C-alpha cells in the first residue's frame, strides 16, 4: 500500500499557549469542523476530547501532549496539543522539537503572558515557523491591537494581521479578511459553520487598507513579481499575497495574525485555512542532521520515503491495554509494523510489533508509516523520550533533547506493605514517561524522594499514582532543591598514602578550585608527574564530590577544577588511590573557598483587580519578593516579581484569601541566586538540628 497523503499535503503542527488562553477549546473546534467529533467538547464541562486523563478534565488543564490527525481541504494535519502550564515544560519542549509549524494562541484580554513568552522562546530555539491566533475576542476588555503590539514588543515577532476583528466583546460578530478584502459575519444558530461573506463596512475601510499596505510592504521582499506590482500600484490577487506570505512565514521572518472566539465558534475555519496556506509541510523544512555513531561524521536525512528510515521518539506513555506506547516522528524513509529498528541512543535493537495512528485517546492500526508521519509504536521496551530510531544498516544519531533539572522534591512512602511494590512500579513508569520527574533513594534515611518542576507537577503525578496504578501513598512536605557553590579561588592538596607492606595505596594531587559554569575539569600537568591513565580517576573523584556540598550536603554547582600537580608510586598507585586523593583535595579546597548556599528564584506574575493590589504587593514583599514591574490591563493590574521558591509554598491559597478568589498567578523557574546570610544561617541550623 502506498503513501495515503502526499508529503506536501501533510502538516505537523503544535498548538501552544499560556494556560487559559483557550487552547484546548480551539483544538476541539478544529476536531468538530473537520468531522472528527460530532459534538463539541467543552473544557468547563470536562468533555474535551483532547483532555482525556481524569485530572485534565477536573483541573481544566492539558497535562500530556495528545496527538491527533485531522483532514482539511485535502490536507492531513497532525496536531500535537501541548500543555500551557510551565510545570509541564518538558511536554512543550519535546513537542516543539518534532514539529514543523506551530499555532500560538493568545487571549485578547491578557495578550502575551509569561508562560507564552517561555514557550515562544523554545519555538525560536528550534526555528519553528508559527501563526498567532488572538482568541477570546468576545470577552469584555478584548483588545486586538494591544495583543498584536505585545507580540511585537515582548516577543520580538514581526506580527502581521491577515484579519482584523469586527467589533469586540459582546459586539464581536466576525472578522475582516485583509488578504481577500471581504468581511465574514458568522451565523450564531449554525455554530459558526455557515457565514456571510460581505463587503467591508465603510467605516472600517481605511483601517483595513492600512493593514493591507503594511502586509504587502513586509512580504514583497520575498517575491519579486509581487514587489514590482506593489511598487507600480497594480492590483494584487489574494493568491499572489498567499504565496509571498507563505515564503516569509517559512523563513521565520513574519508571524501572520488571525483572530476569533473559539468558544463562540468564530474564526476557527479561517485558522485551519491559514495552517494549510502558510505553515510548512515536512518537505519545506531543512533536512534533519545527525551523527553517524561509528565514524562520528555529520549526516543528513531528507524527508523522502525512499531514504533510510530515521525517527525521533518524543513521548512515552504507559497504556493499560498495550503496555508502553512510544510516540515518534518519522523524518525519513518508511517503517512497516513488525520490523526491527535500531535504537542508536541506547545501542539496542527493538521490534515494532504494532503501529498506531492516534486520535486523542482513540487509535487506528497502520500497516506502514512514511516520512513526515507522527504515530505511536507498541513493543519498544527500552526506548525513552529523545531516543533516535533508525534502520540498523544506516545508523544516525539525531540531536538530543535537553531537559531542565527539577527544583522541588518531596518524600513519598506507601501507606501499606501491599502498596510498596506497586509504588515502585508506578514511579518507574512515570519517570520513564517524564524526564523532568526524577526518583532517588535518600542514602541516610532510606526514603524515596521524588523531584519535579513545581508543586502542581508533583501533585498531578501523585494523583496519577492513585488513579492509574491504585497506589495509596503518603507525601511529605515539599523540599526546595538548594545548591552550593564556591566564591573564591583556592589551591588544595590531597594525599592518600597507605603503605604497610604488600601492595599499598599512593595517590597525591594538587587541585585549583575556582568559580565556573556547571562542572568543568582540566589538567594543567607538565611532564609525567602523574601518568595519563590516572587523570580520569582524578576527574571522577572531583565530580563525585560535587554531589554533596561542604555546608549542608546539597549538590554543588559552578565549580572549575584544574589539576596542577601531584606525584605517584610505581607499584602502589592505582585509579582508586587517585580518586580518593582528589576527593580529599576537593573537599578541603571547597571548605577554604568561601562556600555559599544558592536557592531557586521564580518569576512570578499575578493578575489582580486594582482594589487588592496593595495586599498582594505587601504579601509578595513579605516573601522576600522583588517587584519587577506593574502593567495595566483593562480589567486588572499585572504584577511581575521574582520570589525565592522556598517562600512560595501554599501561595495559591494565600492569594485566594487576600483577593477573595479573584487574583490568579503563574510561576516559572528563573535562576539560582545566593541566599541572604541570615536566611542561610537559619536554614543550616534547621538542617543540622542545632
pLDDT of residue 85: 46
Local confidence band at 115 (pLDDT 50, 70, 90 cut-offs)? low
Cell of 616: 498582594
Same-domain pairing of 581 and 602: no
Same-domain pairing of 88 and 202: yes
Per-residue model confidence as pLDDT tens digits over 331-362: 999 999 999 999 998 889 999 999 988 764 46
pLDDT of residue 94: 66
368 lies in a domain? yes
617 lies in a domain? yes
Average pLDDT over residues 279-298: 89
Residue 618 predicted with pLDDT over 80: yes
Local confidence band at 63 (pLDDT 50, 70, 90 cut-offs)? very low
By CB neighbour count within 10 A (0-12 exposed, 13-18 middle, 19+ buried), where does 560 fall? middle
2 lies in a domain? no
**Residue of higher predicted confidence among 94 and 36:** 94
> Half-sphere exposure of residue 209, counting CA atoms within 13 Å on the CB side?
7
Per-residue model confidence as pLDDT tens digits over 370-388: 999 988 898 888 888 788 9
Domain boundary among 375, 398, 421: 398
Q: Which of 191, 248, 189 is nearest to 217 (CA)?
A: 248
Local confidence band at 549 (pLDDT 50, 70, 90 cut-offs)? very high
Residue 619: CB atoms within 10 A of its CB come to 18
pLDDT of residue 383: 86
Cβ within 8 Å of residue 384, ≥6 positions away: 313, 316, 346, 432, 435
Cβ within 8 Å of residue 35, ≥6 positions away: 71
Same-domain pairing of 229 and 95: yes
Q: Give dist(CA 73, CA 442) in Å, integer.
A: 56
In this structure, what DSSP letter does residue 543 have?
Answer: H
| Least confident piece of the model among 19-33, 462-476, 598-612, 666-680 | 19-33
Same-domain pairing of 534 and 451: no
pLDDT of residue 81: 61
| Least confident piece of the model among 58-67, 275-284, 397-406, 412-421 | 58-67
Average pLDDT over residues 589-606: 92
Average pLDDT over residues 602-619: 90
The total domain count for the chain is 5
Measure CA 331 to chain center.
21
Q: Which of 385, 389, 277 is nearest to 340 (CA)?
A: 389
Q: Average per-residue pLDDT in the chain?
A: 84
Same-domain pairing of 417 and 541: no
403 lies in a domain? no
The residue with cell 605517584 is 568
Average pLDDT over residues 400-429: 83
Per-residue model confidence as pLDDT tens digits over 98-114: 889 999 999 898 888 76
Could you tell me the CA-to-CA distances from 327 to 29, 98, 228, 376, 394 in Å, in that order?
Answer: 24, 11, 47, 4, 21
pLDDT of residue 584: 96
pLDDT of residue 154: 84
Same-domain pairing of 297 and 273: no
Same-domain pairing of 635 and 501: no
Cβ within 8 Å of residue 58, ≥6 positions away: 46
Q: What is the residue range of 37's domain?
A: 7-284
Average pLDDT over residues 69-87: 73
Local confidence band at 244 (pLDDT 50, 70, 90 cut-offs)? very high
Same-domain pairing of 343 and 432: no
233 lies in a domain? yes
Q: Give dist(CA 274, CA 247) in Å, integer.
A: 13
Per-residue model confidence as pLDDT tens digits over 415-448: 888 888 889 888 888 887 777 788 988 776 788 8
Residue 620 predicted with pLDDT over 90: yes
214 lies in a domain? yes
Same-domain pairing of 337 and 366: yes
**Residue of higher predicted confidence among 308 and 381:** 308
Pairing relation of β-strands 255-259 and 130-135?
parallel
Same-domain pairing of 467 and 494: no
pLDDT of residue 2: 52
User: What CATH number should be reported for the domain holding residue 533?
Assistant: 3.30.230.10
Buried b (16+ CB within 10 A) or exposed e, 24-53: bbbbbbbbbbbebbeebbebeeeebbbbeb
Average pLDDT over residues 446-464: 83
Per-residue model confidence as pLDDT tens digits over 634-649: 667 889 899 999 998 8
User: What CATH number should be reported for the domain holding residue 607?
Assistant: 3.30.70.240
pLDDT of residue 66: 52
User: What CATH number should be reported for the domain holding residue 377?
Assistant: 2.40.30.10
Q: What is the 3-state secondary structure (H, E, C) of 397-463?
A: EECCCCCCCCCEEEEEEECCHHHHHHHHHHHHHHHHHCCCCEEEECCCCCCEEEEECCHHHHHHHHH
Residue 151 predicted with pLDDT over 70: yes
Q: Kindly calculate the radius of gyration of the chain based on its CA atoms and give it in whole angstroms.
A: 29
Q: Taking the complete model, does pTM exceed 0.95, yes or no?
A: no
1 lies in a domain? no
The residue with cell 516520512 is 371
Per-residue model confidence as pLDDT tens digits over 514-547: 999 889 999 998 888 899 999 999 999 999 999 9
User: What CATH number should be reported for the domain holding residue 95?
Assistant: 3.40.50.300
Local confidence band at 367 (pLDDT 50, 70, 90 cut-offs)? very high
pLDDT of residue 1: 40
Same-domain pairing of 559 and 651: no
% of the chain beyond a pLDDT of 70: 89
Domain boundary among 554, 574, 593: 593
Same-domain pairing of 344 and 234: no
Domain boundary among 374, 398, 422: 398
Residue 229 predicted with pLDDT over 60: yes
pLDDT of residue 249: 95
Local confidence band at 247 (pLDDT 50, 70, 90 cut-offs)? very high
79 lies in a domain? yes
pLDDT of residue 148: 95
**Residue of higher predicted confidence among 444 and 393:** 393
Q: Is the dihedral of CA 541, 543, 544, 545 positive or negative?
A: positive
Host H or E run for residue 345: none
The residue with cell 562542572 is 519
Amino acid at each position: 500500500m502506498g503513501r495515503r497523503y502526499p508529503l506536501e499535503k501533510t502538516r505537523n503542527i503544535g498548538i501552544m499557549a499560556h494556560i487559559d488562553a483557550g487552547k484546548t477549546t480551539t483544538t476541539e473546534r478544529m476536531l468538530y469542523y473537520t468531522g472528527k467529533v460530532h459534538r463539541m467538547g467543552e473544557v468547563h464541562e470536562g468533555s474535551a476530547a483532547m483532555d482525556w486523563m481524569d485530572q485534565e478534565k477536573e483541573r481544566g488543564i492539558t497535562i500530556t501532549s495528545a496527538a491527533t490527525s485531522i483532514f482539511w481541504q485535502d490536507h492531513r494535519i497532525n496536531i500535537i496539543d501541548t500543555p500551557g502550564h510551565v510545570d509541564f515544560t518538558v511536554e512543550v519542549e519535546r513537542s516543539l522539537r518534532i514539529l514543523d509549524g506551530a499555532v500560538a494562541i493568545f487571549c485578547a484580554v491578557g495578550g502575551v503572558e509569561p508562560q507564552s513568552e517561555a514557550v515562544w522562546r523554545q519555538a525560536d530555539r528550534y526555528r519553528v515557523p508559527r501563526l498567532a491566533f488572538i482568541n477570546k475576542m468576545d470577552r469584555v476588555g478584548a483588545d486586538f491591537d494591544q495583543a498584536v503590539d505585545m507580540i511585537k514588543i515582548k516577543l520580538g515577532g514581526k506580527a502581521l494581521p491577515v484579519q482584523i476583528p469586527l467589533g469586540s466583546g459582546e459586539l464581536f460578530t466576525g472578522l475582516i479578511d485583509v488578504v481577500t478584502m471581504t468581511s465574514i459575519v458568522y451565523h450564531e444558530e449554525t455554530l459558526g459553520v455557515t457565514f456571510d461573506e460581505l463587503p467591508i463596512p465603510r467605516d472600517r475601510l481605511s483601517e483595513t487598507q492600512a493593514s493591507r499596505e503594511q502586509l504587502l510592504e513586509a512580504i514583497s521582499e520575498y517575491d519579486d513579481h509581487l514587489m514590482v506590482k506593489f511598487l507600480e500600484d497594480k492590483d494584487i490577487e489574494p493568491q499572489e499575497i498567499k504565496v509571498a506570505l507563505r515564503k516569509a512565514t517559512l523563513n521565520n521572518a513574519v508571524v501572520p495574525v488571525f483572530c476569533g472566539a473559539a468558544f463562540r465558534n468564530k474564526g476557527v475555519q479561517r485558522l485551519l485555512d491559514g495552517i494549510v496556506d502558510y505553515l510548512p509541510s515536512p518537505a519545506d523544512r531543512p533536512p534533519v542532521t545527525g551523527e553517524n555513531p561509528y565514524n562520528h561524521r555529520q549526516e543528513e536525512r531528507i524527508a523522502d520515503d525512499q531514504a533510510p528510515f530515521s525517527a525521533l521518539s518524543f513521548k512515552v506513555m504507559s497504556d493499560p491495554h498495550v503496555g508502553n506506547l512510544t510516540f515518534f516522528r518519522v523524518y525519513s524513509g518508511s517503517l512497516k509494523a513488525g520490523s526491527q529498528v535500531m535504537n542508536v541512543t541506547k545501542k539496542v535493537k527493538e521490534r515494532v510489533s504494532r503501529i498506531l495512528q492516534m486520535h486523542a485517546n482513540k487509535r487506528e492500526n497502520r500497516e506502514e508509516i512514511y516520512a513526515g508521519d507522527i504515530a505511536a509504536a507498541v513493543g519498544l521496551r527500552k526506548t525513552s523520550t529523545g531516543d533516535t530510531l533508525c534502520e540498523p544498516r544506516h545508523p544516525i544519531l539525531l540531536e538530543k533533547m535537553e531537559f531542565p533539572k527539577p527544583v522541588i522534591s518531596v518524600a513519598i512512602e506507601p501507606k501499606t506493605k501491599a502498596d510498596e511494590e506497586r509504588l515502585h512500579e508506578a514511579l518507574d513508569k512515570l519517570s520513564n514517561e517524564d524526564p523532568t520527574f526524577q526518583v532517588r533513594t535518600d542514602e541516610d534515611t532510606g526514603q524515596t524522594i521524588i523531584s519535579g518542576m513545581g508543586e502542581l507537577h508533583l501533585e498531578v503525578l501523585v494523583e496519577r499514582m492513585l488513579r492509574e496504578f491504585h497506589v495509596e501513598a503518603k507525601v511529605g512536605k515539599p523540599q526546595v532543591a538548594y545548591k552550593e557553590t564556591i566564591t573564591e579561588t583556592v589551591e588544595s592538596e590531597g594525599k592518600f598514602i597507605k603503605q604497610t607492606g604488600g601492595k599499598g595505596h599512593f595517590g597525591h594531587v594538587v587541585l585549583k578550585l575556582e568559580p565556573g559554569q556547571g562542572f568543568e575539569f582540566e589538567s594543567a600537568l607538565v611532564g609525567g608527574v602523574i601518568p595519563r591513565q590516572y587523570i580520569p580517576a582524578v576527574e571522577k573523584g572531583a565530580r563525585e564530590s560535587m554531589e554533596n556540598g561542604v555546608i549542608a550536603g546539597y549538590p554543588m554547582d559552578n565549580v572549575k577544577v584544574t589539576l596542577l600537580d601531584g606525584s605517584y608510586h610505581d607499584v602502589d598507585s592505582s585509579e582508586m588511590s587517585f580518586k580518593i586523593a582528589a576527593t580529599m583535595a576537593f573537599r578541603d579546597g571547597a571548605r577554604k573557598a568561601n562556600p555559599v548556599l544558592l536557592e531557586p528564584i521564580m518569576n512570578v506574575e499575578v493578575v489582580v483587580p486594582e482594589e487588592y493590589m496593595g495586599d498582594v504587593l505587601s504579601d509578595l514583599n513579605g516573601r522576600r519578593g522583588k517587584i519587577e514591574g506593574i502593567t495595566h490591563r483593562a480589567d486588572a493590574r499585572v504584577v511581575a516579581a521574582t520570589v525565592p521558591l522556598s517562600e512560595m509554598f501554599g501561595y495559591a491559597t494565600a492569594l485566594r484569601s487576600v483577593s477573595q478568589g479573584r487574583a490568579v498567578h503563574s510561576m516559572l523557574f528563573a535562576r539560582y541566586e545566593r541566599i541572604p546570610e541570615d536566611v542561610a544561617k537559619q536554614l543550616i541550623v534547621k538542617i543540622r538540628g542545632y
